[in-house]
């Protein structure tokens, strides 16, 4: 009997010692969660708002978007990478963050080293659009025009090393033509430049471009995806236009600083998957030209790695370097 009491006391003591280690996972979240966003406009703002608005009720704690723009989207991600690995600081990450450390060796983060991918949320198709004054009516004609007039055609981007710059360099490589790159301080300025006729063509996301395509202020040569878009059913894919390798899709997802407990990652992944399956959320994103999805953390990691590998090759072939 005495032995049983002794064992019972040992069991109680064990439970007391183990409880503090279990409590954080069982109680998560017990305070507001900060969602760091590196851009405060466009698709980034849309995705950040959708995540925060829909995670708040299911987690029972406010999810607050913390906008930290600047540095080409790197300031916010560097900040999040240094945050405590407790699940209370998350980051919206996108295509730019995967390739930025390849372009700039002075950056203090690497996406797959310093973050745990939680889920891919949406992909965003890109269009190659030209100013209506340009005679090219297809990708093939644009490439032929560029080869016929070396160094004459101009393409605008959101800056040297920006993600849409990489898409344009991929086109230039495939076209085997000499063209002039005109970098701007942001994708919005690049889009403004083509509307005014300062440059001949750009690559830009569907949400940013479609209003000008619909009004006739820009002409779309191709959607840079494997399949046609429901929102632009008459626009050919890059493969249909003769350049199957010209696939250029922006993406957005959520990640946490490396070291966050696996059960917290699993909880967040499950909740984000349910949000992306919500018909209202899907309709909201599809309406602005996005393709909502969800993945496991490991599948998101593999996706990022594939993108990094692809664009590293483009960066090296084009000899693009910021620092």
pLDDT tens for 125-171 read 999 999 999 999 999 999 999 999 999 999 999 888 888 999 999 99
pLDDT tens string 191-222: 999 999 999 999 999 888 989 998 999 999 99
Is-contact 61 33, C-beta < 8 A?
yes
Percent of the chain with pLDDT over 90: 74
Longest dimension (CA), the chain: 97
If residue 220 lies in a helix (H) or strand (E), which one and from where to where?
strand 219-223
If residue 183 lies in a helix (H) or strand (E), which one and from where to where?
strand 180-183
202: closest CA among 211, 60, 192, 250? 192
Half-sphere exposure of 323 (CA within 13 A, CB side): 7
Give pLDDT < 50 ranges for the chain.
1-25
CB neighbourhood size of 56 (10 A): 15
Terminal C-alpha separation, the chain: 74
- Per the omega criterion (within 30 degrees of 0), is the bond before 29 cis? yes
CA distance 50 to 40: 13
Domains of the chain: 31-123+250-318 (3.40.190.150), 125-223 (3.40.190.10)
184: closest CA among 155, 162, 221, 158? 158
pLDDT of residue 26: 54
| Percent of the chain as helix, strand, coil, to the nearest 5 | 50, 20, 30
pLDDT of residue 51: 97
pLDDT of residue 323: 65
């Amino acid at each position: 009997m005495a032995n049983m009491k002794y064992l019972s006391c040992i069991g109680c003591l064990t439970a007391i010692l183990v409880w503090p280690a279990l409590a954080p996972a069982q109680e998560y979240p017990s305070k507001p969660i900060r969602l760091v966003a590196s851009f405060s406009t466009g698709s980034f703002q849309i995705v950040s708002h959708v995540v925060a608005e829909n995670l708040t009720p299911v987690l029972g704690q406010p999810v607050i978007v913390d906008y930290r723009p600047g540095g080409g989207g790197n300031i916010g991600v560097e900040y999040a990478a240094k945050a405590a690995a407790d699940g209370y600081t998350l980051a919206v990450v996108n295509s730019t963050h995967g390739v930025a450390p390849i372009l700039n060796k002075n950056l203090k983060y690497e996406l797959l080293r310093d973050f745990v991918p939680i889920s891919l949320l949406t992909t965003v198709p890109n269009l190659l659009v030209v100013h209506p004054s340009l005679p090219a009516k297809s990708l093939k004609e644009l490439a032929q025009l560029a080869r016929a007039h070396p160094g004459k055609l101009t393409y605008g981007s959101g800056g040297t090393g920006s993600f849409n710059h990489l898409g344009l360099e991929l086109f230039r490589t495939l076209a085997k033509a000499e063209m002039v790159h005109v970098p701007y301080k942001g994708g919005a300025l690049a889009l403004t430049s083509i509307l005014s006729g300062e440059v001949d063509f750009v690559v830009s996301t569907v949400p940013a471009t479609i209003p000008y395509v619909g009004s006739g202020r820009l002409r779309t040569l191709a959607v840079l995806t494997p399949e046609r878009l429901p929102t632009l059913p008459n626009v050919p894919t890059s493969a249909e236009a003769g350049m199957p390798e010209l696939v250029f899709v922006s993406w957005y997802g959520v990640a946490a600083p490396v070291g966050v407990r696996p059960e917290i990652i699993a909880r967040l992944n499950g909740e984000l998957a349910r949000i992306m399956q919500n018909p209202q959320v899907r309709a909201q994103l599809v309406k602005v030209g996005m393709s909502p999805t969800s993945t496991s953390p490991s599948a998101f990691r593999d996706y990022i790695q594939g993108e990094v590998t692809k664009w590293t090759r483009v960066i090296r072939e084009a000899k693009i370097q910021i620092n």
